[in-house]
Chain A
Amino acid sequence: ETGVTQSPTHLIKTRGQQVTLRCSSQSGHNTVSWYQQALGQGPQFIFQYYREEENGRGNFPPRFSGLQFPNYSSELNVNALELDDSALYLCASSLAGIRLYSYNEQFFGPGTRLTVL
């Protein structure tokens, strides 16, 4: 157990819908990163939030957006869902922005499995 929780565990949506995924960070962690992991692939970095501001973004379109709240919980929102959005979505919390220091260990949550039909 990493202390990072995600909800829901599984989700089924249809193409064109919108979805919100939630992550609760490990206590004291002020940074959260979101990743998309398609079947048989490694996680792909979506974006990172540090102290409620976006602190970096991977190669994902603007329909992927996020929020981080004062209690450091966060949300990933995806609009206009496409079939290729079907994947495991992982959040990872750490103590400081991954861009600011050489390394602070990320702790992954269990993930949300999103299926888009």
Chain B
Amino acid sequence: QKEVEQNSGPLSVPEGAIASLNCTYSDRGSQSFFWYRQYSGKSPELIMFIYSNGDKEDGRFTAQLNKASQYVSLLIRDSQPSDSATYLCAVKDNDMRFGAGTRLTVKP
């Protein structure tokens, strides 16, 4: 079974710190990787996607992909209380497979 694994958390960081969220996947052939944010009671919204090994930056967010290690991460710089949410890692092969999510709390 193809798996996408995330630490469930909760991960707690102080305001202004860097939050680091990690994800591993089992299918070595996976090509596309996504990070979604889901606020409590809301639907997921896309933060970033990444295809190539290395880093991809968008504002305060940086996605990192290492296909050899089957590892993808999301860094959130200058974390804000509004970043408090569940972060879902997703991997696309033929279908989109999501991890269970990591709950992040940013404390003022």
Residues of A at the B interface (CB closer than 8 Å) are: 2, 33, 35, 40-45, 48, 56, 58, 90, 98-99, 102-103, 105-106, 108-111
Contact = CB atoms under 8 A, between A and B. Distances in A.
A33 to B, nearest CB: 7
A98 B31 CA distance: 13
Nearest to B42: A110
Contacts of B46: 105-106
Contacts of B97: 45
Contact of B31 (A2, A43, A102): A102
Contacts of A108: 43-45
12 contacts: A35-B98, A40-B8, A41-B100, A41-B101, A45-B95, A45-B97, A56-B94, A103-B32, A108-B44, A109-B43, A110-B42, A110-B43
Interface of B: 4, 8, 31-32, 42-46, 49, 51, 88, 90, 92, 94-101
Contact of A42 (B43, B94, B99): B99
A108 to B, nearest CB: 4
Contacts, number: 50
Contacts of B98: 35, 42-44
A2 B45 CA distance: 9
A65 B101 CA distance: 27
Contacts of A35: 98
Given A43-B44, A106-B96, A108-B44, 15 more contacts: A40-B100, A42-B98, A42-B100, A43-B88, A45-B96, A58-B95, A90-B43, A90-B44, A98-B92, A103-B32, A105-B46, A106-B46, A108-B43, A108-B45, A110-B42
Contacts of B100: 40-42
Contacts of B99: 42
Nearest to A48: B95
Contacts of A56: 94-95
A108 B38 CA distance: 11
